[in-house]
Amino acid sequence: MKKVISTENAPKAIGPYSQAIKLDNGLLFISGQTPIVPQTGKVVEGEIVEQTHQALKNIKAIVEAAGYTMKDVVKTTCLLNTMDDFAAMNAIYAEYFTENQPARATYAVEKLPLGVLVEIEAIAYKAE
């Protein structure tokens, strides 16, 4: 069975999707998070550093709303507007995943929603 996870501490979905879906087997699928500030619904001011922090804060809020921690994240996918931002994104990313880092793929894409510089999705697992 699946359960929709939703929290006011992360941006509302801007389309027909859920913030996250939790399965009975302990898997948690977190939709791609952009650097939208939940309280304002606006993209955080700043460049890749600030935007990466906000996207990861949003993921952390969803993970915690589901009863997980960032240590439970097993896979992420990072989408960047340009690979020129890879090193800066990677430095911020390392602050959120300090041990037992998840598997990851990072891609540069032509465009991201709302003109943002980064979007990150995640999968977490915790034995139930």
Domain extent for 58? 2-125
Whether the Cβ atoms of residue 65 and residue 31 lie closer than 8 Å to each other: no
Q: Examine the pLDDT at 93 and tell me if it is beyond 80.
A: yes
Q: Examine the pLDDT at 47 and tell me if it is beyond 90.
A: yes
Q: Which pLDDT score is estimated for 127?
A: 87
For the segment 107-120, the average pLDDT, to the nearest whole number, is: 96
The tally of domains found in the chain comes to 1
Q: Examine the pLDDT at 22 and tell me if it is beyond 80.
A: yes
In this prediction, what percent of the chain has a pLDDT beyond 90?
95
CATH classification at residue 32: 3.30.1330.40
Q: Which pLDDT score is estimated for 128?
A: 72
Q: Which pLDDT score is estimated for 15?
A: 85
DSSP string, 64-92: HHTT--GGGEEEEEEEES-GGGHHHHHHH
CA distance 109 to 80: 6
Q: Are strands 103-108 and 73-80 parallel, antiparallel or unpaired?
A: parallel
- Please, is 68 exposed, middle or buried when counting C-beta atoms within 10 Å of its C-beta (0-12, 13-18, 19+)? buried
Q: Which pLDDT score is estimated for 14?
A: 79
Q: Examine the pLDDT at 54 and tell me if it is beyond 90.
A: yes
For the segment 74-92, the average pLDDT, to the nearest whole number, is: 98
Closest CA to 116 of 15, 38, 60, 33: 33
For the segment 37-50, the average pLDDT, to the nearest whole number, is: 97
